Structure 1
């Protein structure tokens, strides 16, 4: 996200008020909210140095990219003067909220997994007037979100609330999707063409290295990555299959999405199908130079990939097309 210098005059709305806590007026822009460090400290009932420490750790660890979650905004202070201040987006606010140890932060975490999710993952803006104006536009979005929300209650996804929230927020913000929702039709995103072909030998090499690393960490058994007949070869053949000399999955996004789906659902291994599927998915995208956004962030980070893998694992066969569309649009967005 490029640095912008808008003046904060319009669009100020209340998004959060804890019991006995602060009532914050914040800026809504680009379908997210922005707070400065002072406001974040007030929100979580702590001091600004603590917020600075958590922000530095978040950025240093690579969980978020500074260019994507921060922006210099110009605002008018109580003294009537205009100041340029660093503001942070909802992604950063949520990440900080899961690190701060305070009563208000605990209240926020409870609120974030319930109230905030109920607004964002249904495609609603917090502004009620804008919601009414956009109802028709978001019909198709709500259908997809309803599917994901239903799956998020599955026992295998217990404890994944933050990941589901982050995944669905990214999904709902994709501009290319919004244009399609205008037409009330979600389609496959087919933008990229990959040059790297994932062959069986490549896959076996990657799986071997992954198993060796996980075994050292005592996170994999001898059965991890052990093939179940020749299903892996069949899967790799499927993603490159043709009909009348035309590929059935011509785009890089489609190939990657089907690779992830087939490995998880077809169980080509005795153990570790979700993990192997995720590793091969990342490897395939990386070899095709399609793993990262321009900002340097992963298009689908580890937490979101974990949530997607679980969603695929618990899905019914009839829901395959929905999941493929979700993955392709997240990659292309």
Structure 2
């Protein structure tokens, strides 16, 4: 039997993967389950609250809050691709995932991740126009353009990811089926293939460059212009307020994009086992939990809208 026939037979036998996630910490199974469940609930409630506030409060109907509503909804979708399965694995200790389920999870993870990168760039552009060209802001950021920018952000990654995921799962897989990760990510899946992955790695590099590096550079360019404009403001108070907002946004962007760039664009050199898993916790879990605080809850309009809802709820219960 030749090597090609063996590869084909092995590939047909491999119908599922095993996500190792935190198998080495099995003694902390229920602690980790409780911790990640709390994190998931906080992410869904905080982002869901912001999404609802932007829909019901008349004061939150500007382009900035239109983008923020989409961003909050996107964050809920993004974490829902990975966290529920991780919670299920922790609770049941059954870590098997079929090839179809793995490909589906990978597809939605990267489509939504691409959308988040692009939407963050759109939000930075919105702030650039608002601060650097305030007189032209209503004309430039009209409703039609806002809808097009958001729609483009949501769908831009779809065709590319369909091609990339199809290409990855067309590879022959043989030998070990254990993925040292808590979700189906590209680098650990490619490591399990016994075929030539050079083309896949090039496609991954191009995708990361298009959907991560380019938006990141656009964000940096927008905020550079914003900071330059802020420095021209007449009072120290207004400068400090604007810098506070910009620094918070940039911190969130640096955390999300920084860990993403390191994960998908670093060279394949020797690094500690599980590094990708640790890095991915930052952009899949930590940024979605901090983003509502950074982008919304420090905003006076959002906090006022939240107080109005709380006031109405308290009075409705009293009645």
TM-score band, normalised by shorter chain: under 0.3
State the TM-score, normalizing by the size of structure 1. 0.24
More helix by share: 2
